[in-house]
Amino acid sequence: MPEDITRGEKLIVALDVHSLAEAESIIDKLIPPVKIFKVGLGLFTLYGPEAVKLVKKKGGSVFLDLKFHDIPNTVVHSVKSATKLGAYMMSLHIFGCVDMMKGAVKAAREEAIRLSIDRPRILGVTVLTSLTEADIKEVGIGRNLNAQVLHLAEMARKAGLDGVVASPKEISLIRKRFGKDFIIVTPGIRPGWAGDKGDQKRTTTPKEAIEAGADYIVVGRPIIEAKDPLKAATKIIEEVEI
Burial 124-135 (b: 16+ CB within 10 A, else e): bbbbbbebeeee
- Identified catalytic residue from 10, 29, 38, 67: 67
Q: Any residues with CB less than 8 A from the CB of 3 and at least 6 apart, and which?
A: none
User: What's at 125, amino acid-wise?
Assistant: V
Residues 6+ apart with CB under 8 A from 214: 10, 168, 171, 184, 185, 186
* Spatial separation of the C-alpha atoms in residues 229 and 216, rounded to whole Å: 19
Pair 69, 97: CB distance under 8 Å: no
What does DSSP assign to residue 120?
A: P
DSSP letter for 192, please: T
Task: Please confirm, yes or no, whether 67 is among the known catalytic residues.
Answer: yes
> 185 with 170: CB under 8 angstroms?
no
CA dihedral (58, 60, 94, 220) positive or negative: negative
Residues with active-site annotation: 67
